[in-house]
Structure 1
Amino acid sequence: MIYLDYQATTPLAPEAREAMLRWLDGPDSTGFANPHSPHRMGRQAAAAVEVARERVAALLPPGGRVIFTGNACEAVNLAMRGSAGRRKAGIACSAIEHASVRDTARALGRVTEIPVDREGLTDLATELPEDIGLVAVMSVNNEIGTVQPVAEWHHRAQEKGALFLCDAVQACGKREIAGADMIAISAHKMHGPKGIGALWVRDGLELDPQVTGGLQEGIRSGTLSPALCAAFGAAAELAKARMAEDAAHIETLWRRARELFADWTLNGSAEARWHGNLNIRKDGLDVARLMSDCREVMFSAGSACASGSGAPSHVLRAIGLTDAQAKSSIRLGFGRYTTLAEIEEAAGLINAAAEAQGV
């Protein structure tokens, strides 16, 4: 099988797996200890968590703290709900934000939508209301890979006295992260394990807890998993060390993929984009049939989080595509462990299946 769905999740790095296994050992080991226990085994587990925290923090701006969460959706909710009582009520978010941001914004109050152009770029000229308290713009879009001018949006938020939240799930470990007040990330999108994410919070910003109980993370309750934290830390450390190497490899894959799919239409920007994301379409394409005919190639018709809805992608509609065009689009995602041979073989299979449909 050929895996080309890196926006949905990434393969676990061997280094992350090794880091995790130490803390999954059974009763003959010390690795299973609760990191919140005061005895020696607990302190050893707690030390592993703190090392991981430092490694994750090294991927993020200075001047903030890392709070481990169960996933990035929880991190987004902690940021948006946890700050709700400490800011003005108005929320502005881009038209192509992840559902965790869009749905939470709608649940919390009045929302100003920041429009995007046909390339998926946000309009910095969008007027923000005076009562705006939070601006949320993602760094890299999960469906079309568009890279947003988050530094400029952070500045716009500051001008209004508002907080700025950046969903950096698709960017963290791949590119430098600009400043913000809060940043949400996820381990499994950067070759770490599923089941753990993090919220970076600027120093001096206090949030209200959304999960009460032991408050083991100071603001978040629940026993941390040393195994997941250690693996997240190892993945972060590896991503930082390999960032330039990974980016160069992905650029090679991107250039070849663009050649192989030259007669497909690209969705979104070619330049202001993370090049590990190739979202393309052929009008009239039956994507369900294509996926059935190419069972050995793992790719997507859109966001994994919304794959069961059956509705056209809100991201593709926001950039001006019709419902029919959105439903004739596919997303290919590749990265560190993808080979050039896999890209070429996958392209051959996908193009042959599309040609068999007469499109």
Structure 2
Amino acid sequence: MIYLDHNATTCPAPEVIAEMVDVLQRVWGNPSSTHGPGQAARRALVDARARVAAFLGCQVAELVFTSGATEANHMAVLGALAAARGTARRRLVLSAVEHPGLLALGRRLAGEGVPLDLIPVDAQGRLDFAAAKELIGDDVALVSVMGANNETGVLMPIAELAELAHTHGARLHVDATQLAGKSALNFAASGADLMSVSAHKLAGPKGVGALAVRKGLALPPLLSGRQERQRRGGTENLPGIVGFAAAAERAAATLARDLAHMRFLREHLEQGLQRVLPASHVYGQEAARLPNTVCLRFGTLDAEQVLNKLERAGMLASSGAACSAGGTQPSHVLLAMGESAERAKAAVRFSLGPDNTADEIGRVIAVAARVIGPLLIDQTAALAA
């Protein structure tokens, strides 16, 4: 099996599993307890928090552990809007290509009376900064964008958005889920006021993430309680948090090498597929992108048909289409980039990891030529008939 779906999730690293098992067996106390086992758990939590904070480039006191990026995103958006309650700042601004979960939250809030605006993108998936300047004004409470798009890998201009938002007195939240492990994170230098991450995107466990909250920004908690400096109630997921810390340290130690390796593999894959299948079209190819992400279509072949062929050959990727009761819906990201529904439903995403090899990429190119090539010939013939 060749796994090329790392933007969806990653396999937990052996050292991550080892630390989690050790905590489960040896440090099982409640970190809020004052007795010996509880204080041992507290020390493990303090240590893990420092390790994750170092990875994110934030202060220890700025870090709030959550159940993942979805909760962190909700905490950021709902908290920032609540903090602005009673002021003239009521409006929420998102990009048109945010993760479906965040867009769903935005639509729900709009239905409850929160003014919502979406910043468009161009045909390459790049944020329309001129439109952003028009949309971000003095009545905006929060601007929330993903650091890198999960489907195309296209990067957002975080520093520029932070300056624009702050000029108007608004806060900036960055969903850095796809940036973690694929770029150097530095919350302190980013200009963002809030930043979300999730451990399972960088060889850590599922069910744990974090929100970095700029010092001095008080957010009402989603879950009330004493934990996390009263910002997120509930007994801490200590095994998950320790696993997160192990994954963060592992990613930081090899980041420069991993980025260069994944960029090489991405270029090899793109060039190889375009060579053997000239009908291939790569999305965002002219934009600044993550080093590991290739989003493309093969003519207008349905993505599910392509993915089934690849999986039968032992190669796992994904599509941008969303499943629904009526079948599949085209990728909202590609629709926002101006693609037709037919083309958007043809998009396939290959997302590489540090453990993928050049030999694997060569095999993917060869198999794609063998199993997708005939489908393209048939499609061309059908269109010509």
SS of 1:342 mapped into structure 2: helix
| Segment of structure 1 superposing worse, 53-62 or 148-157 | 53-62
> What is the distance in 2 between the residues matched to 1:347 and 1:179?
40
How far apart are residue 53 of structure 1 and its match?
1.2
Aligned partner of 2:307 in structure 1 is 291
Aligned partner of 1:311 in structure 2 is 329
1:152 has 2:156 as partner: no
How far apart are residue 275 of structure 1 and its match?
2.0
State the Cα deviation string for residues 156-214 of structure 1 (Å, max 9, x = none): 11011001000000002321232310000000011111110100000000110111245
Q: Percent identity, please.
A: 36
SS of 2:253 mapped into structure 1: helix
How far apart are residue 247 of structure 1 and its match?
0.5
SS of 1:137 mapped into structure 2: strand
1:55 has 2:51 as partner: yes
Structure 1's 279 and 256: CA in aligned 2 closer, same or farther, altered over 3 A? same
TM-score (norm 2): 0.88
- What pairs with 1:86-101 in structure 2 (closer than 5 Å)? 86-87=83-84, 88-101=89-102
Query: Cα RMSD (Å) of the superposition?
Result: 1.7
SS of 1:272 mapped into structure 2: coil
Aligned partner of 2:292 in structure 1 is 276
Residue pair 1:36, 1:216 contacting (<8 A) in 2 also? no
1:84 has 2:81 as partner: yes
1:326 has 2:344 as partner: yes
Question: Residue 145 of structure 2: which of 117, 137, 147 is its match?
Answer: 137
Question: Residue 221 of structure 1: which of 233, 256, 260 is its match?
Answer: 233
Residue pair 1:92, 1:114 contacting (<8 A) in 2 also? yes
Residue pair 1:96, 1:141 contacting (<8 A) in 2 also? yes
1:39 has 2:35 as partner: yes
| Structure holding more helix per residue | 2
Superposition misfits of 4+ residues, deviation over 6 angstroms: none
Residue pair 2:202, 2:247 contacting (<8 A) in 1 also? yes
TM-score (norm 1): 0.94
Residue pair 1:216, 1:223 contacting (<8 A) in 2 also? no
Aligned partner of 1:258 in structure 2 is 270
SS of 1:81 mapped into structure 2: helix
| Segment of structure 1 superposing worse, 279-288 or 138-147 | 279-288
State the Cα deviation string for residues 7-40 of structure 1 (Å, max 9, x = none): 1011212221111110122xxxx32222222111
Q: Structure 2: where are the runs of 5+ without partners?
A: 380-385
SS of 2:339 mapped into structure 1: coil
SS of 1:284 mapped into structure 2: coil
Question: Residue 125 of structure 1: which of 101, 125, 130 is its match?
Answer: 130
Aligned partner of 1:188 in structure 2 is 200
Larger Rg: 2
SS of 1:273 mapped into structure 2: coil
The residue identity in structure 1 corresponding to 2:45 is: V
1:346 has 2:358 as partner: no
> What is the distance in 2 between the residues matched to 1:3 and 1:250?
14
Aligned partner of 2:10 in structure 1 is 10
> What is the distance in 2 between the residues matched to 1:225 and 1:85?
26
How far apart are residue 242 of structure 1 and its match?
1.1
> What is the distance in 2 between the residues matched to 1:85 and 1:119?
35
SS of 1:200 mapped into structure 2: strand
Q: Structure 1: where are the runs of 5+ without partners?
A: none
Residue pair 2:317, 2:351 contacting (<8 A) in 1 also? yes
Aligned partner of 2:382 in structure 1 is none
| Segment of structure 1 superposing worse, 94-103 or 211-220 | 211-220
